[in-house]
Amino acid sequence: MRLIRSFWNWLGTFFHSIRFRLTMWFVLILAIVLTVFSVFIYFAQARDLQFDAVRVMQDKFSRVQAYFHSAEWQNSNLTPADVPNEQTPLQEGDLLILTDTSGSVVQNWGETLAQPDDLINALVTAASQRRDFTVYEKTVAIMDDSQNQTNVEYLFIITPVLRGDRLVGYLIIGSPSQLNSQLYRLTISLLLGSLAMLVIAFAGGLWLADRAMRPVRTIAHTAQNISESDLNRRINMKGRDELAELAGTFDAMLSRLQAAFDRQRRFVADASHELRTPLTIMNLEVGRMLSGHRSSGEYQHAMQIVNAEGERMTRLVNDLMTLARMDAGQTILQFEDLDLSDVTVEAVERMSALAERQQVRLEMRDLPELHVHGDRQYLVQMVSNLIENAIKYGGPNQTVQIQTGLKQDKATLRVADTGPGIPPDHLPRLFDRFYRVDQARTHHPDESASSPDGSGLGLSIVAWIVQSHGGEIHVESKVNEGTTFEVSLPLSQ
């Protein structure tokens, strides 16, 4: 029973497979082609055979007519033995019947009909209605020497016998015909040949479909064996056909998935690390204060550290929530016509307090009127993050220059600092989440919330805002000379 159940399951899977359906479509199309071809061959061959049969009867009629115009026919019964040469009017199996106008047999030669009256009456009736040369095909019963009847297919020609202008009778010439048997054999041959070709086509089509679908099975097998922890497997199918293109697309999708999972793991690890550091500091400070009696100054200092770490965690969680909403597509932008210079001035005013604490001078240069179509809140956040990044990493007693302009029919924003700069190998990953140039730098518990230690999410948010507004962002940096961020946004129509 297990074998029978397995066989039926395999049979059901096979009948529902694409290769079986492809094969059946191929066989169906071939069957239609073979049917049309066979019908054409049958009718063409039937026409040729009929033409040959008519030509043979015309020749036979000509010989009989020539013989009756000679003087020999009065002393002969027209059997093949009587005239043995090639001009013999009647061959083996032929018959010749002379009738009067009423259809009564006057004289007959050759084979003997078992029931000649029905045949003669039918032929005489047909001849009286037609005046052209016509060949009739009929099945008649022939008497042999032992008085046994045999049904034989015959071709007949009936022609009127005239004496002057007066009809005196009819002359019927009959000859055995192989037309129906030939057409029957042709039909059987075409049918068997077509069936054999369909069987071969089914087997060959199934083999070809199996070979064609083998890459699909490889892709399916690879997809089944891939898990979240094993995304480095690839199909690596060679070729230039559609299946190779599909395999290449599948490999590219796996690469994107692997990169996405890697970013997710790195994101979770970095987020855990960023949250663990302030929590550890807070727990250490609280534990130190609870371990014994402390002065009011020590309690105040510990509370300042806890408050600073709480603010740092709040900013980190807010940035994480912003990125999560952005990734989930839950961020709704309220687009309106804005002046990019006004947005820049607002962001500079917001960051002026931080710049003053960090002893950084904000210098606004050219700010022409540039109309863009965007969300004011997020554009202000974009400019603020760039200025904050320049303040934090530019260093004290430095200058941050902010200016807007027009470049290649696009509104541009430039934020430049005169800080230590960024090494070239760090620039490609500068907008990755939690990526910081100085990976070795750790947060000190005595640093305030406004210290230069960032979470590495600000530039990621900036990149998302720029892309959401259809713009581009570029960074140029030279070590010990400074860093410049340039944002390009399309102008409002």
Token pair, residue 104, equals 């009564």
Structure-token pair, residue 39: 């019908």
b/e burial code for range 391-424 (CB count within 10 A of at least 16 → b): bbbbeeebbbbbbbbeeeebbbbbbbbbbbbbee
Q: What is the pLDDT of residue 328?
A: 67
- Out of 3-12, 407-416, 450-459, give the one with best mean pLDDT: 407-416
Q: What is the CATH number of the domain that holds 159?
A: 3.30.450.20
Kindly calculate the radius of gyration of the chain based on its CA atoms and give it in whole angstroms.
52
171 and 102 assigned to the same domain: yes
**pLDDT score of 448 more than 60:** no
Same domain, 478 and 370: yes
Residues 380 and 442 in one domain: yes
**Of 266, 284, 318, which residue constitutes the final position of a domain?**
266
Amino acid at 406: L
Question: What CATH number does residue 475 fall under?
Answer: 3.30.565.10
Across the range 336-346, mean pLDDT stands at 93
Shared domain for 21 and 113, answered yes or no, is no
Please report whether residue 424 resides in a domain: yes
Predicted local confidence at residue 294, as pLDDT: 79
Q: Assess whether 229 and 211 both reside in one domain.
A: no
CA-closest candidate to residue 199, choices 19, 7, 30: 30
- Is 77's pLDDT higher than 60? no
What distance in Å separates the CA atoms of residue 89 and residue 291, rounded to the nearest whole number?
141
**How large is the average pLDDT for residues 149-171?**
83
Would you state the structure tokens that stand for residue 305, as one six-digit string? 């550290």
Q: Rounded mean pLDDT of 46-59? A: 86
One domain, residues 11 and 108 = no
Is residue 274 domain-resident? no
**196 located within any domain:** yes
Q: Which residue has the higher pLDDT, 243 or 355?
A: 355
Does residue 127 sit in the same domain as residue 261? no
Q: Is the pLDDT of residue 91 over 60?
A: yes
CA-CA distances (angstroms) from residue 139 to 93, 142, 153?
14, 10, 4
pLDDT digits (tens, 9 = 90+) for 179-194: 888 888 999 999 999 9
Q: Kindly state whether residues 255 and 202 are assigned to the same domain.
A: no
Quick one: 342 and 420 in the same domain? yes
pLDDT in tens, 113-132: 877 887 888 888 877 776 66
| Domains identified in the chain, total number | 4
Q: Which two tokens stand for residue 205?
A: 């089509």
Residue 272 lies in a domain: no
pLDDT exceeds cutoff 50 at 84: no
Residue 397 has pLDDT above 80, yes or no: yes
The residues near 181 (Cβ < 8 Å, ≥ 6 apart) are 153
**H or E element: which one contains 39?**
helix 18-68
Least confident of 37-46, 308-317, 382-391, 471-480: 308-317
Element (H, E) at 96: strand 95-99
Lookup: tokens for 298: 């020590």
Query: Does any domain span residue 315?
Result: no
The pLDDT value given to residue 441? 39
Q: Are residues 247 and 354 in the same domain?
A: no
Residue 85 pLDDT grade (very low, low, confident, very high; cuts 50, 70, 90): very low
- DSSP letter string, 418-483: -SS---GGGGGGTTSTT--S-TT----TTS-TTSS---S-HHHHHHHHHHHTT-EEEEEEETTTEE
The confidence score (pLDDT) of residue 159 equals 83
Same domain, 212 and 256: no
Q: How far apart are CA 37 and CA 34, in angstroms?
A: 5
Phi, psi at residue 86, to the nearest 5°?
A: -70, -10
**455 and 431 co-located in one domain:** yes
Tokens of 491: 């102008």
Length of the chain: 493
Is there a domain that residue 422 lies in? yes
DSSP 240: S
Provide the pLDDT confidence category of residue 258 given band limits of 50, 70 and 90.
confident
User: Residue 124: exposed, middle, or buried by beta-carbon count in 10 A (0-12, 13-18, 19+)?
Assistant: buried
Residue 89 has pLDDT above 70, yes or no: no
Instruction: Please check whether residue 290 lies inside any domain of the structure.
Output: no
Provide CB contacts within 8 A for 105, sequence distance 6+.
Answer: 97, 98, 99, 116, 120
56 located within any domain: no
Domain of 253 in residue numbering reads as 225-266
Full-model pTM? 0.49
Secondary structure of residue 206 in the 3-state scheme: helix
pLDDT over 70 (residue 437)? no
Q: Tokens at residue 150, please? A: 């045999």
Please check the confidence at residue 375 and state whether its pLDDT lies above 60: yes
